[in-house]
């Protein structure tokens, strides 16, 4: 896999799974639609089992862990098979753990000072969260001139409609979103709908 999460696909699905049994068919549908990088968030008790299942049974998927907020999260998710890590924010302790993990990671930022602090630590790829609430495309565009070395995956409120304007920015490598994994489709096991929405998202290019 590429060493950069930002270059895997234009859109990284942000997945919340209540039932680990849904993980494999969901991942297969997303991969079939052209979205191989899948962020399974640690917001549910099923998350670690979901990551394990995808890692074991969907070889074409690049499964990652989202909502990583502690060193323990880093250890547990990498052991489960996570191939990248995403956090909503970062601390020195969390950053050290992610750096030591051996897998690519995207620490979350929402302010210029956080970006500068990460650059100081040698990190140039970040998650911009919560993207829409934190200033959206206008904010990221403003950062590109003074901090061109920073690249972002905006997540949080990004939709099929707004994604192209993010992807058109020079400092955005991909976006994260959940619109291609609607809760009702997952609950109904409507994997054909997920694949269709994933294909639509995969076709987005800046």
- CA 140: distance to chain centroid? 17
Contact between 175 and 10 (Cβ < 8 Å): yes
Q: Please tell me which residue in 52, 125, 127, 195 is annotated as part of the active site.
A: 127
Helical (H) or strand (E) element with 94: helix 92-100
Q: Please tell me which residue in 39, 52, 125, 195 is annotated as part of the active site.
A: 39
Give the other-Cβ count within 10 Å of 150's Cβ: 21
Please give the structure tokens belonging to residue 61.
């998927």
**Is residue 127 among the annotated active site residues?**
yes
CA distances from 62 to 37, 96, 124, 156 (A): 5, 23, 21, 21
Residue identified by tokens 């890590």 is: 85
Between CA 40 and CA 85 the distance in angstroms is: 10
Contact between 198 and 34 (Cβ < 8 Å): yes
Give the residue numbers marked as catalytic. Answer: 39, 127
């Amino acid at each position: 896999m590429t060493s950069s999460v930002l270059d895997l696909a234009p859109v990284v699905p942000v997945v919340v799974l209540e039932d680990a049994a849904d993980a494999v068919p969901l991942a297969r549908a997303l991969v079939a639609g052209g979205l191989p990088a899948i962020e399974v968030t640690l917001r549910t008790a099923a998350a670690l089992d979901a990551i394990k299942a995808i890692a074991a049974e969907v070889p074409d998927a690049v499964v990652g862990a989202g909502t990583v907020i502690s060193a323990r999260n880093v250890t547990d998710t990498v052991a489960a098979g996570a191939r990248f890590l995403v956090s909503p924010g970062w601390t020195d302790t969390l950053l050290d753990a992610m750096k030591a993990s051996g897998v690519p990671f995207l620490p979350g930022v929402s302010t210029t000072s956080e970006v500068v602090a990460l650059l100081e630590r040698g990190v140039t790829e970040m998650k911009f969260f919560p993207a829409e609430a934190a200033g959206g495309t206008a904010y990221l565009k403003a950062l590109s001139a003074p901090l061109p070395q920073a690249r972002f995956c905006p997540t949080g409120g990004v939709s099929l409609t707004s994604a192209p304007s993010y992807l058109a920015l020079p400092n955005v490598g991909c976006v994260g979103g959940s619109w291609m994994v609607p809760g009702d489709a997952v609950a109904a096991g409507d994997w054909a709908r997920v694949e269709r929405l994933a294909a639509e998202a995969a076709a987005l290019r800046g």
